[in-house]
Chain A
């Protein structure tokens, strides 16, 4: 009772990375709260899936294995989770801010009338005093997220409703094995007893899933472009530089919105979070929406026309100049010096 739960997402028969990242975070929250960490996995053909979760410190793994839970649709998942949560009364429930979590999370929170904070960038435990009501709270989950287009950072709490629910994007938390020999127990959910015919009204007719072609998350060097790059043609220069350096190309939301780069290259609050060895920011002004997703890079080189661009405040090297002029020079002098 009153434990920390992670609602896990199953991706091609394996636990999705974002869920494992949340298990790591969930473990540290559970330690702080001196409670258990429980995982919840729903799908079909899940035999042995618990072995993937134990090393992340799972004390209990609830598994609902039923063909009606794969492929994912909203209603049967919601029914099983709501049923379990009414019995288990978790104090915290975390899920990935993927299309899965952002479809499922609000549905579950609405059914339980509990609060849900989307796209948190940090989760902490702390107290709260409600002076108006004369109430004090201990050990609340601080759900920290940028809001208002990234211009403010808000700390959200759910003082009275449980579970305190939050979604977190992939790459925001760090995935770490807690104890390779950790052992918990499995609770098999009786899915058949829960599902009703009206849960099964939405049918998946067809599904085309592709493996992601772009792998910016695991690239040690990223050449990234913003709106200031100016055109899709100028973006080709970034691809050239990336090719030469063995890097991957990323983009800001503004550049993606402008059609300069594909969505899967988007870095920042509404894209992926990266921590490369070197991040070359080209024509990126440095709005928090973007920097939230790259500021932990070991080294940042910013190329911008504006010497006062906010990105320069977090950069190690700030080159004031035109992307179209500077990038070819980087290529040229890199080649010259490595010959």
Chain B
């Protein structure tokens, strides 16, 4: 029995690698200098989807992402690893969305898709670390959720069995389908790109991307429809504009401060024996240790 699986993915700036060149002279982050990557836990989510596809022939995997035009890159990345197709939800109307407005837009797009069995997302994105979008989408669709998933054990007979990783233990739960699961970083890593799929999907493009390219590519999708990455704007989903973007976001950013360390006088030492010996004597004398 094949499943219709949607993977929610996000393109994020690689905040784990904020190097020296990523900081501007005034000490603020130069976002443009950070590489845009497939959110790591969304890759863990994709792997769980791919394992379902391995196990249950006929399963299709669709990637849904919301973001600017260049977010099509992560859809291609997903196709190279075994996803079947992708949707890019992109519109200025979505700009400034907080997690709730994002979840609303995604849920409207999901409602437009044909019969969904399972929605899988990463637990959280590294640019916000909120872990909110998965559960908020589930609520907007009226679907049950299982968060902190580490392994999908089986998906048979209309329900799915999942192992969850909690702070101090593991839990096995059963959820009827359709439903939403979010996957932890502790789940298996995503398989690498497949060379054949890379060849197959290397020219996969959204309509906007095709319009910007040489003429040869424009008609490529006529006989190879799988090369079309579906691009949806706000007009392609049924939504209430008041719930989208900034106006649909209950949370507002009042203030942003760049992190500046408060300097205090540190006593600088070298690893020389006398200095370490002196330090230890001092710490023992003032009862910090010992």
* Contact of B290 with A by CB under 8 A: yes
CB of B221, distance to nearest CB on chain A (Å): 36
**Which residues of the partner chain A approach B147 to less than 8 Å between Cβ atoms?**
74, 99, 102-103
Among the 9-residue stretches B60-68, B73-81, B226-234, B262-270, the one with 4 or more Cβ atoms under 8 Å from chain A is: B262-270
CB of B176, distance to nearest CB on chain A (Å): 5
Whether A114 lies near B29 (C-beta < 8 A) is: no
* Contact of A313 with B by CB under 8 A: yes
Within 8 Å by CB of A316, from B267, B277, B290, lies B267
**Which residues of the partner chain A approach B44 to less than 8 Å between Cβ atoms?**
none
Q: How far is the CA of A99 from the CA of B271 in the complex (A)?
A: 42
Given A107-B136, A156-B251, A320-B270, the answer on whether A205 and B174 have CB atoms closer than 8 Å is: yes
Whether B254 lies near A149 (C-beta < 8 A) is: no
* Contact of B167 with A by CB under 8 A: yes
**Which residues of the partner chain A approach B92 to less than 8 Å between Cβ atoms?**
none
CB of B10, distance to nearest CB on chain A (Å): 14
Q: How far is the CA of A78 from the CA of B142 in the complex (A)?
A: 12
Whether A314 lies near B136 (C-beta < 8 A) is: no
* Contact of B175 with A by CB under 8 A: yes
When each residue 281-293 of chain A gets 1 if its CB lies under 8 Å from chain B and 0 otherwise, what string results?
A: 0000011100100
Given A147-B128, A202-B175, the answer on whether A333 and B266 have CB atoms closer than 8 Å is: no
Within 8 Å by CB of B252, from A149, A156, A277, A291, lies A156
CB of A155, distance to nearest CB on chain B (Å): 4
* Contact of A315 with B by CB under 8 A: yes
Within 8 Å by CB of A207, from B130, B144, B171, B275, lies B171
Q: How far is the CA of A142 from the CA of B267 in the complex (A)?
A: 36
CB of A118, distance to nearest CB on chain B (Å): 4
Count of A-B contacts judged by CB separation below 8 Å: 243
**Which residues of the partner chain B approach A148 to less than 8 Å between Cβ atoms?**
13, 15, 29, 127
Q: How far is the CA of A119 from the CA of B172 in the complex (A)?
A: 26
**Which residues of the partner chain B approach A119 to less than 8 Å between Cβ atoms?**
129-130
CB contact list, A260-294 vs B, under 8 A:
263-264, 269-270, 277-278, 286-288, 291
Q: How far is the CA of A149 from the CA of B128 in the complex (A)?
A: 7
Given A118-B132, A147-B128, the answer on whether A154 and B172 have CB atoms closer than 8 Å is: no
Given A334-B280, A337-B280, the answer on whether A146 and B263 have CB atoms closer than 8 Å is: no
Whether B174 lies near A314 (C-beta < 8 A) is: no
Given A302-B266, A314-B264, A321-B271, the answer on whether A116 and B251 have CB atoms closer than 8 Å is: yes
CB contact list, B229-284 vs A, under 8 A:
243, 249-259, 261-264, 266-271, 273, 275-277, 279-281, 283-284
Among the 9-residue stretches B95-103, B111-119, B212-220, the one with 4 or more Cβ atoms under 8 Å from chain A is: B95-103
CB of A259, distance to nearest CB on chain B (Å): 12
* Contact of A325 with B by CB under 8 A: yes
* Contact of A319 with B by CB under 8 A: yes
* Contact of B166 with A by CB under 8 A: yes
Main secondary structure of the interface of B (DSSP, over half): mixed
Within 8 Å by CB of B15, from A105, A151, A159, A337, lies A151
Q: How far is the CA of A116 from the CA of B132 in the complex (A)?
A: 8
Smallest Cβ-Cβ distance to B174: which chain A residue? A203
Smallest Cβ-Cβ distance to A105: which chain B residue? B132
Whether A107 lies near B131 (C-beta < 8 A) is: no
Q: How far is the CA of A149 from the CA of B16 in the complex (A)?
A: 7
* Contact of A13 with B by CB under 8 A: no
Smallest Cβ-Cβ distance to B15: which chain A residue? A149
Whether B131 lies near A106 (C-beta < 8 A) is: yes
* Contact of A186 with B by CB under 8 A: no
CB of B148, distance to nearest CB on chain A (Å): 5
**Which residues of the partner chain A approach B283 to less than 8 Å between Cβ atoms?**
278
CB of B51, distance to nearest CB on chain A (Å): 20
Whether B259 lies near A99 (C-beta < 8 A) is: no
Given A103-B145, A302-B266, A326-B276, the answer on whether A159 and B252 have CB atoms closer than 8 Å is: yes
Whether A158 lies near B280 (C-beta < 8 A) is: no
Given A115-B98, A115-B251, A153-B257, the answer on whether A299 and B288 have CB atoms closer than 8 Å is: yes
List 24 interface pairs A-B (beta carbons < 8 Å), by A numbering: A71-B171, A106-B134, A110-B137, A113-B243, A114-B250, A142-B254, A154-B255, A155-B254, A204-B171, A204-B173, A206-B172, A207-B169, A208-B170, A210-B168, A210-B169, A286-B261, A291-B261, A313-B264, A313-B266, A319-B275, A320-B269, A326-B271, A334-B290, A336-B280
A interface list, Cβ under 8 A from B:
71, 73-75, 78, 98-99, 102-103, 105-107, 109-111, 113-119, 128, 142-143, 146-161, 201-212, 221, 245, 257, 263-264, 269-270, 277-278, 286-288, 291, 299, 301-302, 307, 310, 312-322, 325-326, 329-330, 333-334, 336-338
Supply 15 further A-B pairs (C-beta < 8 A) apart from A73-B173, A106-B132, A153-B258: A99-B166, A106-B130, A106-B139, A116-B130, A119-B130, A148-B29, A151-B29, A151-B259, A153-B256, A155-B255, A156-B254, A157-B252, A320-B270, A321-B270, A337-B280
7 shortest A-B CB distances, which residue pairs? Answer: A149-B15, A115-B250, A321-B271, A115-B251, A110-B139, A161-B250, A209-B169
B interface list, Cβ under 8 A from A:
13, 15-16, 18, 28-29, 98-100, 103, 126-140, 144-148, 161, 164, 166-176, 186, 243, 249-259, 261-264, 266-271, 273, 275-277, 279-281, 283-284, 288-290
